[in-house]
Structure 1
């Protein structure tokens, strides 16, 4: 029974995550039995990784490593076309192509071939503007206190009439 996830609803409701969703979709596909050559992926540091592939029988001239944006491709084509008669052939000499999906800012820093093992060094290098940075908190001298003056309202007399006029009824 094959189980696959449908990421279509996520494509419809998210913007800018298409590369991540494509990677999830590719990872959910069942890989074929063809998994040659064998390989290891190791995290060797905070931002350092290493891919080691067993490529016995291949020389460095018979292999190619290319990086295109977020895809690392390792391929090999054996030049020997030995058509001898074998009773048992356990050393694979067939052509191969292996693809690795790389995260943002992961770069290949080197590759070496020794004792039938191809080792590829990878490093994640974040741009300076994406790295976390510490914001310095400074202390300022207290600003001089500004003297505020209270503005007093003028007192006005509401009534200037003599009270004697009202008492005698003269004001009517």
Structure 2
């Protein structure tokens, strides 16, 4: 067991003993030391946790963005670094689907308006131009209804997710 030593700085977490060992070649990513050089991780810590705490850490690891191992997660926690956690709200699935549908419908309406406008400018008869103008007016009415629906959805989302001011 040469190379193993007990830490001298009190080394106990939650009543479990820690063992530290000098290690070479492992680098702490993203942590810069003196003169911008990457700081080497020279001590290894081994500890045990309860099954419940392990599940909590594993869940946090799965939900965290950019952290790939328990070791990296624990280093971030020990260094008091910000951990970005991804969450998914199932209640938003239907809302997002509807917003996507409205976007497609507005794109379709815009395409139709462009096509009718082109035909309008190619027409020489005033009566035919009037028909195209009425078609565009109807499409603008559809656009107004879609925008109104969007405003209602955005209002509901803001009431749910934004703090009241």
* TM-score normalised over the length of structure 2: 0.20
TM-score, normalised on structure 1?
Answer: 0.19
